[in-house]
Structure 1
Amino acid sequence: MDSPANLIPSNPIKIAVLAMGGQGGGVLADWIVDMAEHAGWWAQTTSVPGVAQRTGATIYYLEIVPGEDIARAGHAPTLALMPTPGDVDLIVAAELMEAGRAMQRGLVTPDRSVLISSSHRSYAIDEKTAPGNGIADPNKVIEVARDAAKRFICFDLQATAEKAGSVISASLFGAIAGSKALPFTRDQFEATIRRAGVGVEASLRAFALGFDGAANAPARAPSIDLSRPESDVPMSAPNKRVQALLDRVHTGFPAQARPMLVAGLRRLIDYQDLAYAREYLDHMAAIRQLDVQYGGEKTDWALTCSAARYVAVAMSYDDVIRVADLKTRGARFERVGQEVGVKEGQQLYIVDFMHPRLEEICGTLPVKMGRWLENAPLGKFIERRLTRGKRLQSGKLLGFLSLYCMAGMRRWRRSTLRHRSEAASLAQWLDLIARIAPRDYALAVEVVECRRLVKGYSDTHARGGGKYRTLIQTAEAMLGRPDAAQALRDLRATALAEVQCAPLERQAAETLQSPAAARTA
């Protein structure tokens, strides 16, 4: 068992708590101060605001000194207001990347620091807005922390708190107690929670779970399992028409593609209706035929497996109707209520900030009317009125009904201008795949993967669509080159890594001017 943190006379124990807004970092710091003072210690806490990209991440810094040391010195101590790299005894992170931030700042040292972190993730703005998969690898943080800290304790303290019906500050407090990094007894920790007088029973339950988790934590923090379970492929469905679709999946497609095909069917039935899901399988049947003819068996049906995902995504584009549908679902209100901790008898009100562009408005109209409005003076007037956006209270009757009526337009979606545009884009994409597959199977697979760029709505959709068109045009121009598939794969990686279109356009131009392109020409 490791000894408690540094207790050299007149040398304070130094603690850093890293938390984001709403995680109770201030509450945790106040509990530590209260516990220390009731035990006769001198305690001081300050807070250092962090970066907005981490949702108001803040470092709470504490220094505590035994009362007898102060009595011996005969005067009050002079304590620091913020942590110094290499000079912190205990670091507590309310989220895994906050532990990474502590290590980046040099607060964690292998000869001194005990690092306690929750293993759960709250994604940063940069992770959420990345064109591709911007989620950082949590296991890299864990791997570094194992060597960076004298002792590293890491498990899901958010889930622990939720299991107890409390908040993460309580389970973190329990983990501190269970780690024995501070020279206070369990009774002293629990007495602190009782003195706070708010949510005592739930906090004590979370404290106990956190205590046990830290006390029994392995010497080497385990890695996080990032694998995803494969989607189930049912053999039967209660609805006869759904059963017919399932039968087509089982009899007409390879086993490797069936999990994604079933996921696509579920998505499109939820998005539109059974007829739309049947149309999806018609598209996939044509791609499956290409796969049979041009070498799919040797690649485990890569073309079909890839298209099973991206054809479904392309058909379930994000329009205003879809956004309204998702915002009015009961599951959304339940999820938000759980996140903010709505208690029995309380009312939940959600204010949605809506900023549709003229294109989104026109896209919900019938084709002729939408095209007229795009160029009419009325359209310019509407566009000016939309510049500041609108706050809609979807938790109140009028706001909810507005969204609900918009969601109800799903039955007319196929007649809208947006659907006409998306259907034309889908047809062009599928036609390109059919033309490329006979000549370059690998390039056809990469063309399918390019559809990953088209997602979201408004500005996000416009940027992704621009990148997608650049990739498709480049793929057509490279057809016949032996390195075409790899070149397109490299271009797609750039498109997913860069927010703006300019880097992709420069790389595409350089690729087409390369010696391989000249030899092909």
Structure 2
Amino acid sequence: MNQIAEIKKALNADKPIAVAILAMGGQGGGVLADWIVALAENEGWVAQSTSVPGVAQRTGATIYYVEMMRPRDGHLPVLSLMPTPGDVDIVLAAEFMEAGRSMMRGLVTPDRTTLIASTHRSYAVGEKEKPGDGTGDPETVVEASGVAARRSIVFDMQQLAEENGSVISSAMFGALCGAGVLPFGRAAFEAAIKAGGKGVEASLRTFDAALKRAQGGKSDPVQRTPRKDLPEPPRSVGDVGLDALLARIHAFPEPLRPMLYAGLKRVVDFQDPAYGSEYLDRMERLLRLDRAAGGESRGLAFTLAAAKYVAGAMAYDDVIRVADLKTRASRFDRVRREIAATDQQLVYTTEYMHPRMEEVVGTLPVGLARFIESRPRLFAALDRRINKGRRVRTGTIGWFAMLYTLAGMRRFRRRLMRHAREMEHMDAWLGTAEAVLPTNYDLAVEVVGCRRLVKGYSDTHARGQSKFDRVMGMVPALRERSDGAEWLKRLRQAALLDEEGKALDGAIRTVETL
């Protein structure tokens, strides 16, 4: 409380109160700025807001800047249009890394600034475009805020807003009130929300929850990636076929069961229970090989890795899978929740798709696909008609029916060209791992992990598979080395650093000199 009193004393000086808001599209940053301006003006202050938009929703956040000051002697104050480093009293960041960027810009200073930030992440384009884990480390922001800010209030405002049926701007406004750094009472804050006239009840509910949370003073812990806790497989789900698969999982060693259960769910959701049975057939065979190679003393690491990556290889992303996911009722429900649509509102989703002839051929029976591929001129002519971007409105009957029909081709998937190729690729990959396993256990585990390089569909899949093939091409050179597993891991990590594969080029040249 002494700290709040000191901050209020500083804010009562003969200068404007400066507030910077960093928010992305859809987070209500403009609404929050309007509320703050209305709050100040209703209390007899003069307030002004400006905004500088980012290039796009996740290549740069919009900075909303508000200055407010009580008029003196009937004279209106002159207010600034942009925040000045070292001269901002309150920074509100609607996403955690934006809080870090505000510190890098010098907007947060230890002698003046109260930092209010949500701990949730909305990943930037620069983070998502890397093939591997390109996410920023939130721990650095936590450490910096302890030094850079005079006071910090951080918790997951996005989750709090969703739980109360509103958007994050309402939670940030409540946190601002709970921080006690503005010379206005709670009633004045609530009056600003009520004057808006839209979603008032949900906004007030969120405001109240965030206010209490800010007054509590407890921050949420942050971590770079969400913690993944794999559940134990149940004994029964009430379906005879699925229960038989679960019984097979329970015959595996206990440490393997959660990963096998996760893999089985993914494979069955991708295709059907019979396909799940094929997955478990493979895993039973790999477990026998693992044990024969002395894997019990190593925690069956080979089988554990295979349980994850074999499921991923069997549940590959093809046109049928994409169509299936985009036409599921659960996806339409999720979109409505994310944009907080009411039951009375219509929501249309527009998808951007850019199919290539390769994807079309993949959905054809093997014989017909090979016929087209063996005729380059025919293939090129068809590709010129197919290979173009399309905006697909899945809320319309025509487009939805087309995607729904594509999704229905799942029953024929195992007779199509893409499936045949994926199975050939998986057999070759696992064959390499199995050949290495008896003589170099650790290297075999890393070979299994290399499947991580293959992901997505279309161009993304092609780039990933090219890198995978290059990394796997180095296995023979590493097979007899005691440090072969470490070198293969380095190659895989290099392949995940950039889309073009420049880091991988350098890593391969290094391995070739060994």
For 1:465 and 1:26, how far apart are their aligned partners in 2?
Answer: 44
Unaligned stretches of 5+ residues in structure 1:
515-521
For 2:144 and 2:115, how far apart are their aligned partners in 1?
Answer: 12
Q: 1:337 to 1:238 in 2, by over 3 A?
A: same
Q: Which amino acid aligns with 1:474?
A: M
**Under a length normalisation based on structure 2, what TM-score does the superposition of the two structures give?**
0.95
For 2:353 and 2:58, how far apart are their aligned partners in 1?
Answer: 23
- Check if 1:11 corresponds to 2:15: yes
Deviation at 1:8, TM superposition (A): 5.0
Deviation at 1:142, TM superposition (A): 2.1
Identify the match of residue 28 of structure 2 among 15, 19, 24. Answer: 24
For 2:279 and 2:164, how far apart are their aligned partners in 1?
Answer: 44
For 2:82 and 2:45, how far apart are their aligned partners in 1?
Answer: 19
Which residue in the other structure is 1:518 paired with? none
Answer yes or no: is the 8 Å Cα contact 2:352–2:392 preserved in 1.
yes
Answer yes or no: is the 8 Å Cα contact 2:67–2:80 preserved in 1.
yes
Correspondences of 1:398-409 after superposition (within 5 Å)? 398-409=398-409
Deviation at 1:504, TM superposition (A): 0.8
Correspondences of 1:24-173 after superposition (within 5 Å)? 24-52=28-56, 54=58, 57-67=61-71, 70-71=72-73, 75-173=75-173
Which residue in the other structure is 1:256 paired with? 255
Deviation at 1:9, TM superposition (A): 4.1
Answer yes or no: is the 8 Å Cα contact 2:230–2:262 preserved in 1.
no
Which residue in the other structure is 2:495 paired with? 495
Secondary structure of 1:54's aligned partner: coil
Identify the match of residue 221 of structure 2 among 220, 223, 238. Answer: 223
Q: Which amino acid aligns with 2:187?
A: D
- Check if 1:333 corresponds to 2:332: yes
Question: Bigger CA drift: 347-356 or 2-11?
Answer: 2-11
Which residue in the other structure is 1:293 paired with? 292
Answer yes or no: is the 8 Å Cα contact 2:290–2:300 preserved in 1.
yes
Deviation at 1:55, TM superposition (A): 5.7
Which residue in the other structure is 1:458 paired with? 458
Answer yes or no: is the 8 Å Cα contact 1:160–1:171 preserved in 2.
yes
Q: Which amino acid aligns with 2:221?
A: S
For 1:260 and 1:201, how far apart are their aligned partners in 2?
Answer: 43
Deviation at 1:175, TM superposition (A): 0.8
Which residue in the other structure is 1:214 paired with? 214
For 1:188 and 1:53, how far apart are their aligned partners in 2?
Answer: 31
Answer yes or no: is the 8 Å Cα contact 1:116–1:153 preserved in 2.
yes
Deviation at 1:79, TM superposition (A): 2.1
Correspondences of 1:227-376 after superposition (within 5 Å)? 227-251=227-251, 253-376=252-375
For 2:442 and 2:93, how far apart are their aligned partners in 1?
Answer: 45
Question: Bigger CA drift: 27-36 or 78-87?
Answer: 78-87
Answer yes or no: is the 8 Å Cα contact 1:352–1:393 preserved in 2.
yes
Which residue in the other structure is 2:396 paired with? 396
Answer yes or no: is the 8 Å Cα contact 2:18–2:68 preserved in 1.
yes
Answer yes or no: is the 8 Å Cα contact 1:139–1:223 preserved in 2.
no
Q: 1:339 to 1:55 in 2, by over 3 A?
A: farther
Unaligned stretches of 5+ residues in structure 2:
none
For 2:59 and 2:498, how far apart are their aligned partners in 1?
Answer: 23
Q: Which amino acid aligns with 2:406?
A: M
Deviation per residue, 1:172-216 (Å, 9 max, x gap): 111101101111111111111122222222211111111111111
Q: Which amino acid aligns with 2:180?
A: K
Deviation at 1:164, TM superposition (A): 2.1
Q: 1:438 to 1:44 in 2, by over 3 A?
A: same
Question: Bigger CA drift: 238-247 or 1-10?
Answer: 1-10
Alignment RMSD: 1.6
For 1:509 and 1:214, how far apart are their aligned partners in 2?
Answer: 54
Question: Bigger CA drift: 75-84 or 58-67?
Answer: 75-84
Deviation per residue, 1:36-81 (Å, 9 max, x gap): 11211111111122243626510111111112xx32xx64323221
For 1:250 and 1:88, how far apart are their aligned partners in 2?
Answer: 59
For 1:292 and 1:348, how far apart are their aligned partners in 2?
Answer: 54
For 1:391 and 1:192, how far apart are their aligned partners in 2?
Answer: 40
Deviation at 1:104, TM superposition (A): 1.3
Answer yes or no: is the 8 Å Cα contact 1:131–1:496 preserved in 2.
yes
Answer yes or no: is the 8 Å Cα contact 1:170–1:203 preserved in 2.
yes
Q: Which amino acid aligns with 1:293?
A: A
For 1:59 and 1:342, how far apart are their aligned partners in 2?
Answer: 26
Secondary structure of 1:497's aligned partner: coil
Deviation per residue, 1:221-264 (Å, 9 max, x gap): 3423643223222122322222222222222x221111010111
Q: Which amino acid aligns with 1:472?
A: M
For 2:51 and 2:164, how far apart are their aligned partners in 1?
Answer: 28
Question: Bigger CA drift: 37-46 or 240-249?
Answer: 240-249
Question: Bigger CA drift: 230-239 or 186-195?
Answer: 230-239
Q: Which amino acid aligns with 2:306?
A: A
Deviation at 1:133, TM superposition (A): 2.2
Deviation per residue, 1:362-410 (Å, 9 max, x gap): 0000112112223433322221123431222211111111001101111
Deviation at 1:295, TM superposition (A): 2.0
Answer yes or no: is the 8 Å Cα contact 1:194–1:200 preserved in 2.
yes
Deviation per residue, 1:469-494 (Å, 9 max, x gap): 11111012221012211110111111
Q: 1:270 to 1:291 in 2, by over 3 A?
A: same
Q: Which amino acid aligns with 1:32?
A: I
Answer yes or no: is the 8 Å Cα contact 1:21–1:56 preserved in 2.
no
For 2:413 and 2:275, how far apart are their aligned partners in 1?
Answer: 11
Q: Which amino acid aligns with 1:354?
A: M
For 1:507 and 1:123, how far apart are their aligned partners in 2?
Answer: 28
**Under a length normalisation based on structure 1, what TM-score does the superposition of the two structures give?**
0.94
Secondary structure of 2:474's aligned partner: helix
For 2:11 and 2:136, how far apart are their aligned partners in 1?
Answer: 37
Secondary structure of 1:419's aligned partner: helix
Answer yes or no: is the 8 Å Cα contact 2:24–2:57 preserved in 1.
no
Which residue in the other structure is 2:440 paired with? 440
Deviation at 1:351, TM superposition (A): 1.5
Answer yes or no: is the 8 Å Cα contact 1:358–1:382 preserved in 2.
yes
Secondary structure of 2:496's aligned partner: helix
